[in-house]
Amino acid sequence: MSKIVTFGEIMMRLNPEGYLRFKQANKFEVSYAGAEANVAVSLANYGVDTKFVTKLPDNELGQCAINSMRQYGVDVSDIVIGGQRIGVYLVEKGASQRASKVIYDRAYSSIAYASQSDFDWDRIFYNTKWFHFTGITPALGGELPEICMLACKMAKKRGITISCDLNYRSKLWTREKAGQVMSSLMPYVDVCTANESDAFDVFGIKAMRTDIDAGKLDYDAYVSVAKQLVERFHLKMCAITLRGSLSASENNWAGMLYDGVSTYFSKTYNIKIIDRVGGGDSFGGALIYSLYNHHNGQDAIEFAVAASCLKQTIEHDYNFSSVQEVQALVSGNESGRVQR
């Protein structure tokens, strides 16, 4: 009876403790994460019935991934068991001028080799109001572009709202392939989210004159990109995250939302980074929560940006912020005073 369904990959995440580099590590912290899994956990944390759909191998690691979702209340009853392996990725946390590094070892995963017959969308979408996926899912290859297309069509038929985070990954596919596949899926999408560079990487749409590394944001450019996306694909809404990377330890973070009529810019947070991986997913999860609950445009973007600001102060990918914590930050409490 889950109201929101997300579909994609969940991987085993390994990272050295603290700020150790891979070459120094003799222990890895183990967690489980993936773009759409992260969104599902965010939504479950906010109290929304959420189902995550993927395919995982029939071994303890697959079960651990399932348990990690279930622990936080995500409905895992439609996860398909089979295939060879769970994807793995490794994160080395950067600091100051030293960038974080991610090594992906995700090829040949169960989900990447899933077939259309694995997923019974009729059952999956029972009672569903919202469907979310990201550009990573079709980028995994195999039959996934077709599976995504089928899911979108089935969702559309039921009047389910569809959201998609462009999430371009150059290691997974070329810009050409991405543009072609995503162009075929976007017509089904109602709400599109993206970071500063995704629109250009996938569709060649330029965020003109932004100077992202310097931490300065050109608001007009983002409006221009959002409008182009909305117009080209007849979206209801488009949201863009704006990251100003001052260093691996400090980022500026904001977001904008365009609803076809108005643009809403959030306030900008200066974040002392604990772990920025999963930041965009927590933005997506919180934005969906807001829109699903019919918040207005300004409230929605403020909630999404505050939520994803908090995520980046939390270790690992999942966002363990509650609605109350996010709202307290939205209300202006950035002081970090001890909550006794």
Work out whether strand 101-105 and strand 88-92 pair parallel, antiparallel, or are unpaired.
antiparallel
Among 3, 98, 158, 177, indicate the residue that binds a copy of itself (CB under 8 A): 98
Is residue 110 within 8 Å of 85, Cβ to Cβ? yes
Segment 58 to 77, residues that bind a copy of itself, using CB under 8 A: 59-61, 63-64, 67-68, 70-73
Among 140, 277, 286, 288, indicate the residue that binds a copy of itself (CB under 8 A): 277
Among 177, 323, 325, 327, indicate the residue that binds a copy of itself (CB under 8 A): 325
Assigned token pair, 153: 């069509």
Q: Which is nearer to a copy of itself, 218 or 325 (by Cβ)?
A: 325
Stretch of 47-55, 56-64, 138-146, 284-292 contacting a copy of itself, by CB under 8 A: 56-64
∠ at Cα 233 (263, 240), nearest 5°? 40
Assigned token pair, 286: 């919180």
Is 18 a residue that touches a copy of itself (CB under 8 A)? yes
Q: Which is nearer to a copy of itself, 167 or 263 (by Cβ)?
A: 167
Stretch of 129-137, 198-206, 288-296, 315-323 contacting a copy of itself, by CB under 8 A: 315-323
Closest separation between CB of residue 185 and a copy of itself, Å?
22
Segment 226 to 265, residues that bind a copy of itself, using CB under 8 A: 245-250
Segment 150 to 209, residues that bind a copy of itself, using CB under 8 A: 169-171
Q: Which helix (H) or strand (E) holds 51?
A: strand 50-53
Give the C-alpha separation, 340 to 330, whole Å: 20
Is residue 209 within 8 Å of 216, Cβ to Cβ? no
- Could you identify the residue written with the tokens 């007849």? 234
Report the candidate in 132, 140, 137 with the shortest Cα–Cα distance to residue 163. 132
